[in-house]
Each structure stands twice: as structure tokens, then as C-alpha cells.
Amino acid sequence: MKIVKNTFNKIKKEIIKRIKTIKRDHLIKQYFKNNVLFLSFVVLMVINSTLLRFLCMHSIDNYLSFKAILADTTVVVFIGAFGYLFKPKNRFAYYMAFSIVLTAICMINSVYYTFYTSFASISMLSLTQYIGDVGDAVVENVLQLKDLVYLIAPIALIIVHIRLRKKNYYKKIEIKPERKKMTVKTLSAAGILLVLFLLTLTSLDVSRFFKQWNKEYIVMKFGIYIYQGNDVITSIQPKINSMFGYDKAKKNFNDYFENRNKYDGTNEYTNIFEGKNVVVIHGESMMSNAIGLTFNGQEVTPTLNKLANEGMYFSNFYSQVSVGTSSDSELTYNTSLMPTKSGTAFVSYSDREYVGIPDLLNEKGYYTFSMHANNADFWNRRAMHVNMGYQRFYAKADYEVSKENVIGLGLNDKEFFKQSLEKIEKINADNEKWYGLLIMLTNHTPFSEVDKYGEFDVSLKETKEDGTEVVYPYMEGTKLGNYFKSLHYADAALGEFIEGLDERGLLENTVFVLYGDHDARLPRKDYNLLYNYDKETNSVLSSEDPNYKEYDYYQYELGRKVPFIIWTKDMKGTELNFINTNAMGMYDVVPTLGNMLGFKNEYALGHDIYNIKENNIVVFPNGNWVNNKLYYNSQKAEYMPLVEEAISEEEINSNTEYTNKLLDVSNDIIVFNLLNKDKNKESGE
């Protein structure tokens, strides 16, 4: 009997276990059956956000980032939970509305990343006024097929809805009392997911999340949806901080400049150009990698080559722009400040007080002016040029612009320089000494008007033994190839301008300064073709080929150098004619040039390169930095060594801390208007 009883109990337990399993499986099946629309919304929106990361950031760390998927899922589940508050027949409208919003976030960021290699910020909405001026560039050089793939998600949601409606799905599911219960349960699930996500975070993740400098890192670790929400808060935070955080910012500002090693002092270049006139060229999209480059024996940039060979050429010079591109370069060149964390100084903070080169030269009796044949309000230059001290801004209204002399965004560079020469000649006659900035325009993306650039062949030509010539396409038809054609035109215009200055005697007592505002933001694959062309297959060499040149992420970043040249007519062959190879950034121009011209900005963040020399660090707005020894990627917390010597972790940590402090102080100077003399008087300083 005991054996029978035990057997019966075992059978009973097994039956109960099977019933529970069936019941559980039934409940799971019922859940999926009754929540098709919600689950479809969650899955499709998470797929979209994951696609965005995969299509934009090509790294193993990103591909394996489970944190971002968990974060995006948490956000979407949280949003989806409130859909249960609606009657079943009305839920589709709710989910569709949010699918459009979340899809738009992905599409906008996809387009934005292509152009800026960064993710979009709500603070940049004020810049949409400029889209009309660069619309062709956006369509031709930025908008790609990948940017439209996200539309599949809302379309799929519509298809799911149609099929459910045909099956009378909405009439079959859920009675009214269940709606609040499902909302609470789903919010609880979102809460559990949030806790799991928070447990995966490191202190480094949290620190970078609040700093919001490195947008790629934040998207990789927190997903696009949390990033975008955090960006909204960060974008309005400056307005709030400027009302409540002034005292703390001012203290940090005072401490920074009191304790900072400024590498002050005179050197062999102190005052060597004092009292001379100055012509500054803002070279649109000019890059150092074109200097010395030839195609079939023809130089891409003969004028730049001449200036580099005859003057002071800083061959390891970096632009430090953020999303404000050209306006950021103008800010940093003129003030030695970095771009702001959110928005752009030229647009978002044009009412702040700045210490600019023109201001400092005005005090020394210079007449200062700027020239740019574009709309005066583009990048808000009309306001900012006055704010930085330019006494006169010559813009589009001051030039004769016709359909025949326009290339790209406006008046072509040759005509711009030709008309500017007449103005400079008059300025020279009316003033004892002067300083002028001329902003070029033709060499602006999308570099598509090749028929207007003149003849410049970027193919590869070879002469066979029998005398016949063979032509290989090489860079023809590529964006980089078109860029070289455009740059060759701009370089020729620059050469004509220098000749015009010389013919009018305007070079006799003049210093000529040129800087590239930023890189051309062209695809890495084109550079790979440039350095690894296989003429036999008209494609890129195999990576296994002994002649293959690696051009990875770091090579691309280092290749974004821009030229900085100081030149005078009589400098060739003198002790001033040399190449400086130390790492140098745009923020180092103010102290370096100031030492030569006899002015000083007490609040410059950069250094005189001739004082700091090999100890210089170039800081980038995203937290990356470079010096003579290495390029550091703050996103991955890794670096590429540039020398063979060992580099200590202590040195890397010290330079990273220096970078973070500098970015904080620079941002505070602008956001809190810390250079405002009246405000400082009110605070008793």
C-alpha cells in the first residue's frame, strides 16, 4: 500500500507541475496575444535606435553595447505603458504618434552624424535658420539612403494595426478595469528594467553623462532616447545656471587662472611684428594634407606650398570646432576660448562680453575690419564681429554679386579678393596701421560645381614605353577628388590676392596670417582610396598588400589637421623661415600671435607655442586631446601613441583632468559672462 501511495503522490505532483506549466505557458501566450500593438511598438523603436548606433558608430564596443539596448528598451516600455490608459481602439493613435517622434529622433541624428560626426542637440534648433543657405550641401553631401531606413518602423506599425483591425482585435481584448492595472504593471516592468540598467553603469559613465561633452560615448552607453532627453535638460541648463550658478562658476574661474601655469614670459619672437599691418585669411575647409600633394606633377595648392616653404609653417596644427564649425573656429581664433557645450557661442551667447584680437589691437591704435561676401547674419556674424571688436564688417551688401560670379554659397573667392583689394587699398590710405580678417567661401562643401573650378585633373596618368598615355580614374568622381579641384581653385584665388597686395605695395609693412577653419568632413573611404589606389582594379588595395597604408579612425583624426602659417614678403631664408612641428591648437593663436604683435589676452586658454613648445596639449570639445606623444580618445579611454617611448597612466590621467577643467572653465566664461567688466564691478572685483 505504501508503494502505491508514493507512486500516486509522484503522479499527483507531476500532474500539478504540468498544469502549472501549461497555465504559465497559457498566460504568456495570452499576454503576447493581447498586447501585440504594444510589443510591436517596443520592438520596432528599439530596432530603430539600435540601427542608428550601428550605422553611425563603427566599433566593436558599440556593437556589443548591451547597455544602450537596455536603456532604449526602458524608455520605450515606459512610454508604451501609458498607451494602456486609452481604449484599445484608440491606442494605435498614441503609439503611432510616439513612433513618429522616436523615428524622427533617429532620422535627424542619422543625418546630423553624417555631417558633424556627432549627435544632434536641441540647442541647435536656433541654427535651422541657416539651412536654406547650405541646403544643397545637406542634400548632396549628407542625406543618404541609410537615413531613410528608420521609416520602416512606423510603416510596419501601420501594417500591424491594419491586420489587427481586420481581425476585430481591438473588440476582443481587455475590459475597462484592466487598463489602469496594465499601465501599473508595465510601468513596474519599466522600473525593473531601469534598475537593471543603473546597475550596469560605472562612475565614468555617470560622469560623462552629466558633462555631455562626448555625445558618442553617451549614446553608446545610454542609448539615443536617454541621450536626447538629457540633451534637452542640458540645453536649458545654461539659462538656469546663468541665474543661479554664477558664484560657483566665478570661484572656479578665479582659481583656474590663479593656479594655472601660463608659460608666461618673453622669447626671441616678442614684438617682432609690432606696429605692422596684418592680413588674416580664414581658409574655408583648408586642410594640411593637401599641402605638397600633386597629381601628375601638378600641385594641388601651389600658393599654400609657397607660403609654407617661405614662412613660419605650423605643420601640427588642429582646429578645435564643435557643431558651430566656421563660427567656432572664429571664436577660438579670436578669443582663445573653446566652443560651448551646448549651442554655439555666435548664436546662443552673442550678448556675452569677449576679449578678442581686434579689441586688443584697437587699444594699440589699429583700425580693425573683417570681410566676408556672405549674408551678414549667417552665423550671427553681424552681431559677433562687433562684439569681438571689429570696427567694420564688410558683408554681402558691400560687394557686387551677380549670377555669373557665384560659386556654391556665394561670391567666388577670386571676385571676393579682387573687390576686397580695392577696399583694403582705401583703408591703408586712411589709417596708419590696420588689421583685417578675410573669410573665404568657395571651398565650402559640397564641392560639386566642378565645371566652375577650372581644369585640374585628379586622375592618374602613365606613359607606356611606346609613348602612349594611359589614364586611370583614381580620384575622379569622388568627393575627395572634387574637394581637391575646389581647393585648387581657392588656392589660385589666394595667389592672385597676394599678387594684388604686392602690386599695390601693401605687403611692404604687412604680416600675412592664414588658418584653415576646419577639415572638409569627407568620408574616410575616400582617403583610403587616395593612399591605397590599385590602378589595375580601379579600387582600394587589399589590406594584405605590402604597399597598403593603414588609415583607421586615429589616422583619420590626425589627418584632420589644418594649416596655420605666418608669412611676410621678406621672410624667406631668414631665421623666421622654418616649420614648427609641435602640436598646436587654434586656441594657441592668440598668445602666440599676441607675443609677436605686442598684445596680450589675460584670459587666453591656449599658450604661446614658443614658450610651451613640446609640452603643449590640444584639447577638443568632445574631451579628446592630443600632444606630441599621443592622441587620446576619451570615448574609449584609449590612445594611439605617436612616439616609441613609454607613456605612464599618471600622465594620461593628468592631461585628461587638465582637459576637463579647461572645458569647464571655458564654458563657464561664456555661459556666465565672466569677462563682463560691469558685472565684475558689481561683485566687488
**Is 408 exposed, middle or buried, given 0-12, 13-18 or 19+ CB atoms closer than 10 A?**
buried
How far apart (Å, rounded) are the C-alpha atoms in residues 276 and 434? 8
Rg (CA), the chain: 30
Please spell the DSSP secondary structure of 365-429, one letter per residue. Answer: T-EEEEE-SS-TTGGGHHHHHHHTT-SEEE-GGGS---GGGEETTEE-HHHHHHHHHHHHHHHHH
Does residue 458 sit in helix, strand or coil? Answer: coil
What mean pLDDT comes out for the span 583-604?
A: 97
pLDDT tens-digit profile of 217-246?
A: 889 999 999 999 888 877 776 566 566 778
Q: List pLDDT tens digits, range 554-580.
A: 999 999 999 999 999 999 999 999 999
**19/14 Cα distance (integer angstroms):** 9
**Regarding predicted confidence, which is higher, 211 or 75?**
75
Identify whether the C-beta of residue 609 lies closer than 8 Å to the C-beta of residue 317. Answer: no
Share of the chain above pLDDT 90, in %: 68
pLDDT at 205: 85
pLDDT score, position 368: 98
Per-residue CA distances from 384 to 103, 204, 350, 585, 621 (Å): 36, 36, 6, 22, 21
Percent of the chain past pLDDT 70, that is, above it, reads 89
Say yes or no to pLDDT of 390 above 60. Answer: yes
User: What pLDDT, on a 0 to 100 scale, did the predictor assign at position 232?
Assistant: 83
Q: Band of the pLDDT at 270, cuts 50, 70, 90? A: very high
Residue 144: which pLDDT band, with cuts at 50, 70 and 90? confident
Give yes or no for residue 216 having a pLDDT over 90. Answer: no
Which is more confidently placed, 248 or 513?
Answer: 513
Average pLDDT over all residues of the chain: 89
* Per-residue pLDDT tens over the stretch 609-652: 999 999 999 999 999 999 999 999 998 889 999 999 999 999 99
What would the mean pLDDT of 178-189 be, rounded to a whole number?
88
Q: Which has the minimum average pLDDT: 199-203, 236-240, 412-416, 675-679? A: 236-240
- Residue type at 192 in one-letter notation: I
Model pTM score:
0.77
Q: Supply the pLDDT for residue 579.
A: 98
Q: Concatenated DSSP letters for 241-286?
A: HHHH-HHHHHHHHHHHHHH-----S--TTTTTTTT-EEEEEEETT-
- 685/676 Cα distance (integer angstroms): 11
What are 32-47's pLDDT values in tens digits?
Answer: 778 889 999 999 999 9
Place of cell 592668440: 590
Question: What are 376's three cell numbers?
Answer: 551678414
Residue 446 CA to residue 134 CA, distance in Å, equals 9
pLDDT value of residue 19: 46
Q: What value does the mean pLDDT take over residues 673-682?
A: 73
Round to whole Å and give the CA distance between 160 and 40: 8
Task: Give tens-digit pLDDT for 526-564.
Answer: 999 999 999 999 999 999 999 999 999 899 999 999 999
- Give residue 142's pLDDT: 54
Q: Is the pLDDT of residue 405 over 50?
A: yes
Sign of CA dihedral 331, 337, 339, 342: negative
Residues in CB range of 315: below 8 A, 6 or more apart: 288, 308, 561, 579, 580, 581
pLDDT at 32: 76
Query: pLDDT tens, 288-337?
Result: 999 999 999 999 999 999 999 999 999 999 999 998 899 999 999 999 99
pLDDT in tens, 3-24: 545 555 555 455 455 444 544 4
Residue 378: pLDDT band with limits 50, 70, 90? confident
Query: Are 437 and 390 in contact, with CB atoms under 8 Å apart?
Result: yes
d(CA 368, CA 390): 5
CA distance 627 to 605: 16
Q: In whole angstroms, what is the distance from residue 154 CA to residue 107 CA?
A: 12
135 pLDDT exceeds 70? no
Which fold is adopted by the domain 262-620? Alkaline Phosphatase, subunit A (3.40.720)
**Angle at which helices 152-166 and 36-56 pack, to 10 degrees?**
170
Strands (E), 458-519: 460-463, 469-472, 510-516
Residue 117 pLDDT > 80: no
Grid coordinates standing for 215? 555625445
What is the mean pLDDT of the segment spanning 176-185? 78
Q: How far apart are alpha carbons 324 and 345 in whole angstroms? A: 8
Which residue ranges does the chain devote to CATH 3.40.720.10? 262-620
Question: What does the DSSP assignment read for 303-356?
Answer: HHHHHHHHSEEETTEE----TTHHHHHHHHHHH--PPPSSS-HHHHSTTS----
Please name which of 398, 364, 353, 319 lies closest in space to residue 586, comparing C-alpha atoms: 319
246 versus 394: the higher-pLDDT residue is 394
Indicate the SS3 state at residue 625: strand
